[in-house]
Amino acid sequence: MLNHQSAAARPSHAGMVNIIREGQLDLDRLATLLQKPALFEPGEPLFWDDPYISAQMLKAHLDPNWDAASRKPETIDRSVEWLCQQMALTPGKRLLDLACGPGLYSSRFARRNLKVVGIDYSRRSIEYAKQRAQEEGLSIEYIYRDLVEINYSEQFDAAVFIYGDFCTLSDTGRDKLLGRLNRALAPGGFFAFDVMTPPFSGSQDYVTGWDAAKEGFWRPEPYLELQQNAKYPDDIYLKRHVIIEGNGTVADYRLWNRLFDLENLQKLLRKYDFEIHSAWNDLTGTPYNPASDWLAVLARKE
């Protein structure tokens, strides 16, 4: 899945570099660039706002036959139905949709007469979501913001953070979000989200490879893509895409993921006064199986 990360997981970075010097390829510099990064060391900042990449991302979100960015429409429908039942979301209740993307979940919640606020750090997704809400006559507040910077005080009955985006956060960003989310929820408020689990790692090919494209997800013109996938301690994984353009410009895109099991997730949530109310394998209510690649939980503010 193509998830964008919070800025707290991606502090400022020097930006793109060039590996051509005096008309020649600087292989020493390239080798340095391809060394394994330190844990949660950032790559290109805010690359989901790049005009071309954000258009590709939005296209992926809206593709009903591909679930690399958002889940398929029928799954989203079932998730919204299940979550409304589990969190007793009746008309008038207040919901916060974290990393809302183009509003695929927010709009469905709003059609059930919930008061919805959606937050995302992609301008293109937020603008699309606003336009769609206006066209459908839905009263949804969409905000372009780093989700770990939310600043509310007991304004929501529930919050959702869907499709593994919780896994992308650094320790600092994750802890900041949980503290602020606890403050944003009313007493007894629910927090529903899903994460990848340790069995998920078995389906991943953590190797180094390369590919050449005339055009693709990262660029509209020819580029060379170097892929470096690596494992770190504590079930943390990096998927890295180093893009080299014909003029020697190099961009380093890093997608971090931390895997969770039910026990360590419970310990983490308790630090921020959340207690797991129930657990499933997904947000449609599939019964919990610890061997599954995914874990979905409903936590409640104590």
| Helix 123-136 × helix 104-111 angle, to 10° | 30
pLDDT in tens, 164-181: 999 999 999 999 999 999
Tokens 């020493």 — which residue? 28
Q: What's the pLDDT tens digit per position in 77-109?
A: 999 999 999 999 999 999 999 999 999 999 999
How do beta strands 274-280 and 294-301 pair? antiparallel
239, 257 Cβ separation under 8 angstroms:
yes
Please give the pLDDT value at position 207: 66
Pair 109, 95: CB distance under 8 Å: yes
For each of the domains in the chain, give its residue range(s) and CATH number, in order of start. 17-46+201-258 (no CATH), 55-198+259-301 (3.40.50.150)
Adjacent-strand bridge partners of 211: 225
- 109 CB-near residues (< 8 Å, 6+ apart): 80, 84, 89, 95, 97, 116
The sign of the torsion formed by the CA atoms of 162, 101, 46, 243 equals positive
Task: Please tell me the distance from the alpha carbon of residue 113 to that of residue 200, in angstroms, as a whole number.
Answer: 36
- E-strand ranges in the chain read 17-18, 20-21, 24-25, 94-98, 115-120, 140-144, 156-161, 185-196, 208-213, 223-232, 236-245, 249-258, 274-280, 294-301
Per-residue pLDDT at 118 exceeds 70: yes
| Percent helix, strand and coil across the chain, each to the nearest 5 | 30, 30, 35
Token representation of residue 8: 């707290």
Spell out the long-range contacts of 284-293 with Cβ–Cβ below 8 A and sequence spacing 24 or more: 284/75, 284/78, 284/79, 284/82, 285/82, 285/86, 288/262, 290/197, 290/261, 290/262, 291/199, 292/197, 292/199, 293/196, 293/197, 293/199, 293/200, 293/203
Least confident of 60-74, 79-93, 194-208: 194-208
- Secondary structure tally for the chain: helices H, strands E: 7, 14
Give CA–CA dist 78/155, Å, rounded: 26
Does the structure show a pLDDT above 50 at 13? no
- Residue 15 pLDDT exceeds 80: no
Nearest to 57 by CA among 233, 255, 191, 238: 255
Give the model's pLDDT for residue 206: 59
For residue 142, what are its two tokens?
């969409």
* pTM attached to this predicted model: 0.92
Reply yes or no on whether the pLDDT at 201 is more than 50.
yes
Report the alpha-carbon distance of residue 293 to residue 302 in Å, rounded: 28
Whether residue 205 is predicted with pLDDT greater than 60 in this model: the reply is no
pLDDT for residue 204 is more than 80: no
Distance CA 127, CA 50 (A): 14
Question: Which whole number is the average pLDDT over 233-253?
Answer: 93
Assign 10 a pLDDT band (cuts: 50, 70, 90).
Answer: very low
**Least confidently predicted of 18-22, 50-54, 121-125, 165-169:** 18-22
Average of per-residue pLDDT values in the chain: 91
Residue with tokens 């009313």: 186
Q: Which residues pair with 231 in a beta bridge?
A: 237
Least confident of 10-24, 119-133, 228-242: 10-24
The SS3 assignment for 51 reads helix
Q: Measuring CA to CA, which residue among 262, 245, 279, 294 is closest to residue 25?
A: 245
